[in-house]
Structure formats: structure tokens, C-alpha cells
């Protein structure tokens, strides 16, 4: 374990999944004192507190993030969801106290091959797909990060030489220092999380951090079709490998006559037909191309890549079939947490649709999304959550008027069924985060699935 933290006094801000994993890693590293701080009260955290009772060096402070917690602290490990503008963090920066994300902490202890994947949309699907492809060739592969399993938790169980595929959010990348993947992929960039980063430039800069510490022998996998991502190549320190859905590339991963090809130097390999890919939608074709490029950089044989592309079913809460009722198909796309992701979902599903959307306001612009509703076959828009009035206004101004605002998921599903007929699809793709009404997008997606199941049980 890394000796840099031995004897240090560390403040862990937020003790949910990643924070709890960070505490375990700090204990193993020999930290002298760990202050675990969370805005929730002790009653809400009792189960976590009980878990660390055998460790007297762990002290819990609950109910808020007070500046006084900085006394005698050497380092802060910040959970992704904590806003960087809170007074405690602003004071820490002024005082010269390092603020790291949990993935930076985990990186200090990892001795294996690291693949990092970021972007606005498609991260979870691509990370899961890459994990499955790597497992075709390597024995010990872990999938971690923003996908659910904290990187620190994976590091605690990983052995030297293991491979970890990490999904990385802009929140996590904003607080790295030495973190450097052997293979780093940026899938795409569209406006998102402006409530957190403040400006689009700050958001894009956080994503670009994934490339900052790479070495010449490392790989940077970039989306040729996205002008912002393509520009990242100019500052990449590793070898650049592009992927493209729209153009044939001199070197990279691309399509010719609907076939996926890898071209590297004077070598060219056919992977498979795009229609053989099991996950549907143009956005998932891009995810498959990105995964192919990442796997190729990782030394995976083209035939093994093809085998997984043909069988990978996708991930929960991303265009996930949620059942059928009276000939109406229900699709759970709760992972569609921004307008671009929701538009991708609408384009992936043919035929007439009833769309359920709305949620936490991240500062998104809904005008493009609203303007595409009619074109993408939306018959009715059912809205819930904090952004319901904003999306309703944008839709109405775009000429779409069949809109209903409801107060919860059960009501949304019932109204959708009342408006749908056999052959229609009811799609949950919120275009927003879930934090106004639900703990996370998984809880929201499960609420949708439970409401659909209840239809059959009536």
C-alpha cells in the first residue's frame, strides 16, 4: 500500500459508496486519523458508522460540511456529488489543502492496467461492453468507477497486474492529480452538469483531464465525429486512435459498407457487420466503435471483439425492456440524464411513442430536445419533477402541445397507458438527473418498472 498516506490526517467528504470505499483504503494505507463527514444525520448513517466501530481512528461528523473540520487536516477526499463551491472546499483551496477525488486516491494504490472511459453519454454502456470484451482474453478484469463499484473497492480486491475498466464522470476527473489511464477514451461532449461546473469550458476541461498525465506509450481513444473531442488530440500525450461512425479513417476504427474495420498502419481487419451488434441505436453503434478501438489498443483480437459485440445485451436502465401490456411496449431509459441522451433513445426506438421525462435541473437547455419530439414520433409528453415546467415551456414554444404534468412515476405510467394503443412504446427517458425525486437513476428506473409490473397485476 502507498506510503504517502501513512500517518496522515484525512477528511472524507461524503460517506456513500465511494466515500466508504475510500475510508477502507485509507485504513489499509495507515492513515493516522480519518474524519468521515456527511450532511446526513447520525441516524441516517448508523449502519455505516457501525461498520467502522472497530477502527478508533475513524471519526464521524454528521449534519453538514463545516469549515472548522479543516483543522489539522492534510488531505481531503471528496465524493463526486459534493459541489465544489461549498465554503469548506473553497477554504481548503485557499489554505493549500489538496482535494482529491476517490479515483485519484485509488490510483495511488493500483498496480495493473487501467482503462478510463469518459464522455457525456454512453459511458456506462461502453464501460460494461469493454469489460466483457477484455474478459474474453484476460482472466482478472474489474469494471468500476461511476458505473457503481467504486474504484477504491476494486483496488482493495485487485491483484498486481489485474485490469480495471473505470467509468469516469467530470466530477471525478475535476479532482485528479497523478491519475493516468494506460488507455483513455473520450466518447463525446455535449452541454451537461452546468449547475456544477459553472461554464461549458469548465465542464469540457474536466473531461480533458483524463489525458493530462498520459505517457507516449499510452493510448488516447477519441471520437473523430465530435469536433470538441477531435480537438483533444492536439494536446494528447499518448498515441491517438480515432473512431468514427460517419467517415472512413486513414487509421482508426470506422465503417465501410456497414462493416466495422480496424485500420492500423498497413494492417486492416474486419470486425463484424454493424447489423450484427446486439445493442440498438446509432448512439450504441458509436459505443461499439469506441469499445472496439479501446479493445484493439488493449491487445484484444478482432474476432474476440466481434463475438462480444454480437452477444452483449446492454445495461440496466439504458433502453432496457420493462415489459408489455395490452400490446404496449415499455422501455426504461432512466440512464438518459440529459437532453442529448434522451434524443438518442427516441431515435433508437421506431414507431409512435409516449415519452415520460423530467427531473432534477442541471442547467440544461431543452430547446433542441423539445424541437425534435414530433419528428421522433412522440405522441404525448408526460412530465414530472423539478424541470417539468421548463420542458413543458420549451415543448410548447416548439409547437408541441400534447403535454401533461404529473406528480409521480405511478401517475406517469397510468397516464401513459391511458394515452397509448397497441403498437405504441412508452419510453422513460427523463433528459434530467433524478436527484429531485429519487436517490439515483437506478431507483427511478426501478420505480418505473414496478409501476409497469403493477399494471399486469391489476
- In this prediction, residues 332-355 reach a mean pLDDT of 94
Per the CB < 8 A criterion, the answer to whether 197 and 171 are in contact is no
In this prediction, residues 77-95 reach a mean pLDDT of 92
Distances in whole angstroms, Cα of residue 114 to Cα of each of 131, 135, 151, 166:
12, 14, 11, 7
- Report percent pLDDT > 70 for the chain: 97
Q: What is the pLDDT of residues 128-157, one digit of tens each?
A: 999 999 999 999 999 999 887 999 999 999
Q: Is 74 exposed, middle or buried (0-12, 13-18, 19+ CB in 10 A)?
A: middle
Domain with CATH 3.40.1190.10 in the chain: 110-309
What residues does 404 pair with on adjacent strands? Answer: 382
Query: In this predicted structure, what is the pLDDT of residue 197?
Result: 64
Q: How far is CA 292 from CA 122, 187, 199, 230, 269, in A?
A: 14, 12, 32, 18, 11
Domain 320-457 class in CATH: alpha beta
Within the chain, all domains assigned CATH 3.90.190.20 are found at 320-457
Neighbours of 319 (CB within 10 A): 23
What residues contact residue 47 under an 8 Å CB cut-off, 6+ apart? none
- Measured between alpha carbons, how far is 61 from 66 in angstroms, rounded to an integer? 9
- Range(s) of the chain covered by CATH 3.40.50.720: 3-101
Among 186-190, 219-223, 264-268, 363-367, the range with the most confident prediction by mean pLDDT is 219-223
Band of pLDDT at residue 458, cut at 50, 70 and 90: low
CATH number attached to the domain at 110-309:
3.40.1190.10
Query: Would you state the pLDDT for residue 226?
Result: 96
pLDDT at 456: 78
pLDDT band at 265 (very low <50, low <70, confident <90, very high): confident
Which CATH code for domain 3-101? Answer: 3.40.50.720
Residue 227 has pLDDT above 70, yes or no: yes
Q: What pLDDT band is residue 202 in, cutting at 50, 70 and 90?
A: confident
Classify 247 in phi/psi space as left (phi over 0), alpha (psi -120 to 50) or beta: beta
Amino acid at each position: 500500500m502507498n506510503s504517502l498516506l501513512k500517518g496522515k490526517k484525512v477528511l472524507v467528504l461524503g460517506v456513500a459508496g465511494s466515500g466508504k470505499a475510500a475510508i477502507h483504503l485509507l485504513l489499509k494505507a495507515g492513515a493516522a486519523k480519518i474524519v468521515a463527514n456527511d450532511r446526513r444525520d447520525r441516524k441516517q448513517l448508523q449502519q455505516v458508522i457501525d461498520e467502522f466501530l472497530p477502527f478508533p481512528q475513524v471519526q464521524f461528523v454528521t449534519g453538514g460540511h463545516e469549515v472548522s473540520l479543516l483543522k489539522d487536516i492534510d488531505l481531503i477526499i471528496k465524493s463526486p456529488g459534493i459541489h465544489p463551491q461549498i465554503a469548506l472546499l473553497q477554504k481548503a483551496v485557499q489554505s493549500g489543502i489538496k482535494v482529491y477525488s476517490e479515483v485519484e486516491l485509488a490510483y495511488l494504490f493500483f498496480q495493473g492496467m487501467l482503462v478510463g472511459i469518459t464522455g457525456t453519454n454512453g459511458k456506462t454502456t461502453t464501460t460494461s461492453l469493454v469489460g466483457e470484451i477484455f474478459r474474453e482474453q484476460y482472466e482478472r478484469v474489474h469494471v468500476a468507477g461511476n458505473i457503481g463499484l467504486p474504484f477504491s473497492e476494486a483496488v482493495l480486491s485487485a491483484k498486481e497486474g489485474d485490469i480495471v475498466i473505470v467509468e469516469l464522470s467530470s466530477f471525478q476527473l475535476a479532482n485528479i492529480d497523478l491519475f493516468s489511464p494506460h488507455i483513455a477514451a473520450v466518447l463525446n461532449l455535449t452541454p451537461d452538469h452546468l449547475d456544477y461546473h459553472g461554464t461549458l469550458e469548465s465542464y469540457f476541461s474536466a473531461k480533458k483531464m483524463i489525458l493530462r498525465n498520459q505517457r507516449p506509450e499510452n493510448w488516447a481513444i477519441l471520437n473523430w465525429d465530435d469536433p470538441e473531442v477531435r480537438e483533444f488530440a492536439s494536446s494528447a500525450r499518448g498515441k491517438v486512435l480515432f473512431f468514427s461512425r460517419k467517415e472512413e479513417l486513414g487509421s482508426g476504427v470506422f465503417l465501410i459498407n456497414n462493416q466495422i474495420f480496424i485500420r492500423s498502419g498497413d494492417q486492416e481487419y474486419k470486425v463484424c457487420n454493424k447489423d450484427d451488434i446486439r445493442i440498438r441505436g446509432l448512439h450504441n453503434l458509436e459505443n461499439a466503435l469506441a469499445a472496439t478501438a479501446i479493445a484493439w489498443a488493449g491487445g484484444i483480437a478482432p474476432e474476440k471483439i466481434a463475438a462480444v459485440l454480437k452477444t452483449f445485451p446492454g445495461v440496466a436502465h439504458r433502453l432496457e425492456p420493462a415489459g408489455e401490456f395490452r400490446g404496449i411496449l415499455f422501455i426504461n431509459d432512466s440512464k438518459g440524464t440529459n437532453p442529448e441522451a434522451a434524443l438518442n433513445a427516441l431515435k433508437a426506438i421506431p414507431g409512435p411513442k409516449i415519452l415520460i421525462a423530467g427531473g432534477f435541473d442541471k442547467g440544461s437547455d431543452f430547446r433542441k430536445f423539445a424541437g425534435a419530439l414530433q419528428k421522433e414520433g412522440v405522441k404525448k409528453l408526460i412530465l414530472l419533477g423539478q424541470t417539468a415546467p421548463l420542458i413543458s415551456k420549451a415543448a410548447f414554444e416548439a409547437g408541441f402541445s400534447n403535454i401533461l404534468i404529473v406528480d409521480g412515476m405511478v401517475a406517469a405510467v397510468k397516464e401513459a397507458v391511458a394515452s397509448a394503443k397497441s403498437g405504441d412504446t412508452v419510453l422513460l427517458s427523463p433528459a434530467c438527473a433524478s436527484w429531485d425525486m429519487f436517490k439515483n437513476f437506478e431507483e427511478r428506473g426501478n420505480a418505473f418498472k414496478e409501476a409497469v409490473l403493477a399494471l399486469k397485476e391489476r
